[in-house]
Amino acid sequence: MQPLNELTITDARMLLDRGEISSRELTQACLDQIQGLNGALNAYVGVYADDALKAADRFDIRRSDLRPLGSLDGIPVGIKDNMMLQGKPCTAGSRILEKHVASYDATAVRKLLEGGAVILGRTNMDEFAMGSSTEHSAYGPTKHPRDPERVPGGSSGGSAVAVAANMSLGAYGSDTGGSIRQPAALCGTVGLKPTYGRVSRSGLMAMASSLDQIGPFAKNVLDAATLFSAVQGQDSMDQTTADEPAFVPEWKKDLNGLRVGVPRAMWEKGGIEKRVLEQCENAIQKMREAGAEVRDIELPYADEGLAVYYVLMPCEVSANLARFDGMRYGLRKEALPLFETYVRSRAQGFGAEAKRRILLGTFALSSGYIDAYYVQAKKVQTLIRRAYQKAFDEVDVIATPTAPNTAFKLGEKLNDPLGMYLEDVFTVSVNVAGLPALSMPCQTDGGMPVGFQLIGKWFDEAGLLSAAHVLEQRLK
């Protein structure tokens, strides 16, 4: 049998239910992996070994009494450092919240705990989820599991590395403009960004409230579906959650009847590396071989997606981060007059990228500019949504690369904000439109991971995951 920490959730569930392994053994294997690798990779910023082992023991008692709770009962997972776990630090990768302790559980975390999942700890992230490399964390960069001189992507790089390096069986992150899918692509895992409103944001530290969405990292598509199922659903604590039927997987053996749209103009303008293009074209061919009808489509306003995102997101960042003022919680640098306390606390608490986006958003919302930037961006956002809606009248899923390149070197783009923002060229429009999308590894040549993105219709995670599962089997 393969090492315990290398098991998929599907395999581990079967072994746990048969009593062939215990949750304590599984959890200890992940903790051993964390102890051995985290010093080099910095995937976790907080590890709760004692709590995790106690939770595992509780599952083993439940199993012996034949009363397990659910699909993740006894399964060890990690959560991103912006998802609140009561009584534990939650810093969103920022010095300004270095000593902040969560006073309640995020709804998604509560569902995990109620379902018996074993939470191993908090994973590293770019500060307040602002970045595509996990180099903007106040607690040091996370390193790529295959090459520690490269980035793992971001902002949920810690969660991606935790899964890729077998430091957990699954993990959760948040996706505002690609922060699940891009690190999943660079690290070679599956990453799912659900439809906006599918998963509650209550207890998720906000970056851009109209774009943020919690989703899973997994070793395969089946595991991603299991992790997603555990946290989905309407929540009275988040009025943006949707009253939609619960997600139910619909697994198929082929792609007969599936219409796949390929926005070639978008591909051509994305600055794709040759190897990424080759591997994604190979994935498209595999979909054809599985019975899918592949057709080129027009996707108007695709070019404007990045610009719209980088207006709307900083505006919401400016508003959401205004609460961190050194008064109620977080870092406080007292001075007189009172205004100086605000200035010192925010100047010393926020990192460079957070400050940059706060300033951009504050400018775009200021008198005389709000109509030219924010209001105009909202109008184009509506056009982007309509363009996707029209496209989905003709196709069932849309295929693109997840990122235009493989993992780049640490520090390579730190002084090039525009280059870093272009990492999201294929992902941000999905958040602007509120659609579900999945990144899956598609490389077949043994090189650095390449991510292939499938975009689905609103609330059609079942169809999206089903198509991805068939393609995954073909790529293997």
Catalytic residue among 94, 133, 155, 174: 155
Is 168 an active-site residue? no
**Cα 262–268–272 angle (5° rounding)?**
100
What residues contact 55, with CB distance under 8 A and at least 6 apart? 23, 27, 116, 117, 118, 119
431's tokens: 């958040």
Q: H helices within 392-443, ranges in order?
A: 417-421, 428-433
Q: Which residue has the tokens 């009025």?
A: 239
Distance CA 46, CA 373 (A): 39
Is 159 an active-site residue? no
21's tokens: 């392994």
Q: H helices within 65-180, ranges in order?
A: 107-114, 157-164
394's tokens: 């003709």
- Three-state DSSP class for 243? coil
Is 155 an active-site residue? yes
Distance CA 173, CA 166 (A): 16
Dihedral Cα 365, 371, 373, 379, nearest 10 deg: 120
Neighbours of 289 (CB within 10 A): 12
Catalytic residue among 156, 159, 174, 179: 179
* R_g (Cα) of the chain, nearest Å: 21
20's tokens: 């062939």
Q: Which residue has the tokens 């027009």?
A: 298
Give the containing element (helix H, strand E) for 216: strand 214-218
Q: Check if the beta carbon of residue 441 is closer than 8 Å to that of residue 449.
A: yes
What residues contact 447, with CB distance under 8 A and at least 6 apart? 275, 406
Neighbours of 95 (CB within 10 A): 18
Catalytic residue among 22, 80, 88, 286: 80
Report the catalytic residues: 80, 155, 179
